[in-house]
Structure formats: C-alpha cells, structure tokens
Amino acid sequence: MIELSRLSLCMIVKNEEDCIGRCLDSVKDVVDEIIIVDTGSTDRTIEICNSYGADVLQFSWNENFSDARNYGIERATGDWILWLDADEEVDKAERYKLRDSLYQDDYDLLFIHLVNYYGNEVDPDKVINVEHSRLFRREKGFRFVNKIHETINANEILKTKEELERIGRIPLKVYHYGYLNRAVDEKKKYERNITMLKKELDEDNHSPWIHYHIGSEYYRINEFEIAFEHVNKSIVEFILAGYTPPSMLYKLKYSILISLGSFEGAWPGIEKAVALYPDYVDLQFYKGVILYYKDMVQEALKVFDHCIELGEENLKYLILRGLGSFQAWYYKGLCLEKMGEIEEAIHAYQESLSQCDTLDAAREALNKLLDKEVR
C-alpha cells in the first residue's frame, strides 16, 4: 500500500487582496494545507485567505523575509513544502504535477519553471524565464536565508555528490506578475527593496549578492551608471570570496553597457564572460549586439546564428524571451541588410515576425526593404 504524502503551501503576505485569490485558486485542489504568515495586512487579505481554509498566522514584521517564511515552515505539517508569493499563479493545466512529484523518492528538492512577466501588461513575449526551487521535503531541514531576496539554504543541506543528485525538476510553470510596471509602482517595491538592501550592505560579512541586487534595482529605474558600479562590486566580492561570479552578474553588466551604448567598453570583456558560460544564450546575444555596433557584422551574424541554435530552453540560466528566437532573427536581418544580402534579410525579418508579430522594429525594417523592392 502506497503511503500518502502531504503537501503544505507556505506563503507570507501583506495587503494582497488584489491577487491572493488568484494564487490560492491555482493550487487549492492540490495542497493539503495552506499556511499563511501575515505581516500586517490592513485590507481584506486575511478574510480572503480564511475563505480558502488557510491557517493564518500573525508575524510582527522585522524587515527579514526569511524569518517570516521560516515561521510558516516551522508550523507546517506536510511531508513536502511548496512556497509561493501572492503575486504568483500555478499553471492550472499543470498543477496536478505537484501531486505526482510527491512520490518521487529520488528527490529532496525540486525546481519549477518560473515565468516572470515585465512591462505594462501580461505579454507572453515579454517574460524572463528561469528554473526556481519551490518544493522541498520538510524533514530535511531546509530553511530560508537572507533578509531580502531570500533563498533556500540548499548548499548547506545538500553537499555531497549523492545529495546533489537528489535535486530534480518538474515540468510545471508558475507565473509571476509582481514585476509588471503597475505592481511595482503600487507596492513601491523599489523604495522598499533599496532601503532594505542598503541596510544589509552595512552589515559585516554581507553576501556578494547584495551589490548585485542593488544594481538590479538601479537598472530597473534606468540609473545605469550606479547599477554598473554595484554589479562590478558584486563580481569582485565573489572573486575575493573564492567563487566564480554567477552568470546573472555578467548578464546584468553587459546589459548595462549596451544600454549606455558603451560598446567599446564592453569589448573584449564580453568574451571572458561567454567563455565562462558558453551555453548562456543571453550572453551570446549581447556579444552579437556588441559586435554589430562595432561594425564587425560578419562575426555578429555568426553569433546570432548560434543564439538561434542555442534556443531558450536552458532554464538553469535567467533567459530573456526572444534572445534565442525572434530578437536574434531581427538582428540577423540587420546584419544581412548591412552586408547587402537583401533577400536573406527580408527572410530573417519575416521569421522574426512569425515568432513575435508585435516586434515593431522588425516590421519597420521589413516594410522599408519591401518598399525598396517594389520601387
């Protein structure tokens, strides 16, 4: 007889009446208990959570997201913990995969596919994809660390080769709406995050990630010079601590330099980043953009072809939708047009638009070439 495993949903919330129902609706039929840690809601959040049969716990906010999450985990009774944010939603067509995953005895920690929307509205072509650890066995001692941008302490629990092999993945998408422009503005996330991050930066032995997260906040509001300063400090701190800087740092660094139009400053440094992470399509794409604007067009064309070959399925990296598909085809078109290969350029623009019909730059470039062809 198969022993039934129980699944606990653990969340922390504050004033989430606009989205908490959507989140709970997406998992109510597949979890065995709902543990909600409320850090001071003054709207209908608690009332809505109660309507789903949640166990709502009060937690006095101490400016530490990990403490709040761990408070909920300590009171959960399930064999497995699923953690979500209120501004997230599990794909309803895939949610039963959560139940299937409970009986995979080979794993202690499971990753899902996190789909992060950005921009003014939900658009499947404006997303950042990455795999994210969201399910873990309660009895293994997993806990959250870091006051902000909290993460699971997987490195402390899974150390040996055998233990690391107990990390798995399930084909389940979770949609995150919290960084759409409206949500960021309403929640005043920039002000909250930057204040907390700077406080943590003042602490002794702060994580090298703190400068990265500060840089990300400044990047989001187009303060590129300040963002660049912080991402470089993060890279240095990782190196001094004896670690290879994570791929996300180089993605942010070269995105900043491209935003600043500093193509000379980005070359040839991008080569070293690509050598560290050769299968990271975003870094390859940035290399292609840098080469294109340095008028190294033939070299850039080869890079964009490689981006298309790599695609966007390698979710161990933070992947910006389009860089291994329609954006790479658009830049391929630019390269071909510059080389005088007009028919091939037209095909590239058409391919780009077939994958994303809202890419105005590709449409304008295509129409311009077609108008010339008619004349």
Q: Residue 158 belongs to a domain with what CATH number? A: 3.90.550.10
Whether residue 244 lies inside any domain: the answer is no
182 pLDDT band, cuts 50/70/90, is: confident
- The bridge status of strand 127-137 relative to strand 319-320 is antiparallel
Instruction: Identify whether residues 288 and 167 lie together within a single domain.
Output: no
Of residues 226, 7, 213, the one with CA closest to residue 103: 7
CA distance linking residue 328 with residue 80, whole number of Å: 40
Q: What is the pLDDT of residue 375?
A: 58
CATH of the domain at 318: 1.25.40.10
Count of domains forming the chain: 2
Tell whether 353 is covered by a domain. yes
Query: pLDDT (tens digit, 9 = 90+) per residue, 288-307?
Result: 999 999 999 999 999 999 99
Q: Is residue 341 part of a domain?
A: yes
Query: For residue 110, what are the contacts with CB-CB under 8 A and spacing of at least 6?
Result: 101, 104, 133, 134, 135, 136, 167, 168, 169, 170
Residue 203 lies in a domain: no
In a domain, 259, yes or no: no
Question: Per the domain annotation, does 45 fall within a domain?
Answer: yes
Residue 91 in 3-state DSSP?
coil
Judge if 160 and 299 occupy the same domain: no
pLDDT score, position 1: 41
Average of per-residue pLDDT across 176-197? 88
Task: Provide the residue range defining the domain that includes 59.
Answer: 7-179
Of the three residues 179, 200, 221, the one that is the final residue of a domain is: 179
The whole model's pTM is what? Answer: 0.94
Tens digit of each residue's pLDDT (9 = 90 or more) over 240-270: 999 999 999 999 999 999 999 999 999 999 9
Q: pLDDT-derived band of residue 372, with 50, 70 and 90 as boundaries?
A: confident
313: CB partners within 8 A, 6+ apart: none
Please check whether residue 197 lies inside any domain of the structure.
Answer: no
In the prediction, which pLDDT does 105 show?
Answer: 84
Tokens of 78: 């399930």
Q: Are residues 17 and 127 in the same domain?
A: yes
Structure confidence at residue 142 as a pLDDT band (50, 70, 90): very high
Mean pLDDT value across residues 73-90: 97
In a domain, 265, yes or no: no
38-47, 290-299, 326-335, 366-375 — which is least confidently predicted? 366-375
Domain end (from 179, 205, 225): 179
The mean predicted confidence, pLDDT, of the chain is 95
Q: Tell me the C-alpha distance between 246 and 24, whole Å.
A: 33
Q: Does residue 207 have a pLDDT over 50?
A: yes
**Cα end-to-end distance, the chain, whole Å:** 77
CA 319 to chain centre: 8
Same domain, yes or no: 47 and 174: yes
Q: Are strands 88-90 and 151-152 parallel, antiparallel or unpaired?
A: unpaired
Count CB neighbours of 36 within 10 A: 27
C-alpha span between 171 and 58 (Å, rounded): 34
Given 126, 156, 179, the domain boundary residue is 179
Q: Is there a contact between 304 and 328 (Cβ–Cβ < 8 Å)? A: yes
Q: How does pLDDT run across 49-74, given as a tens digit for each residue? A: 999 999 999 999 999 999 999 999 99
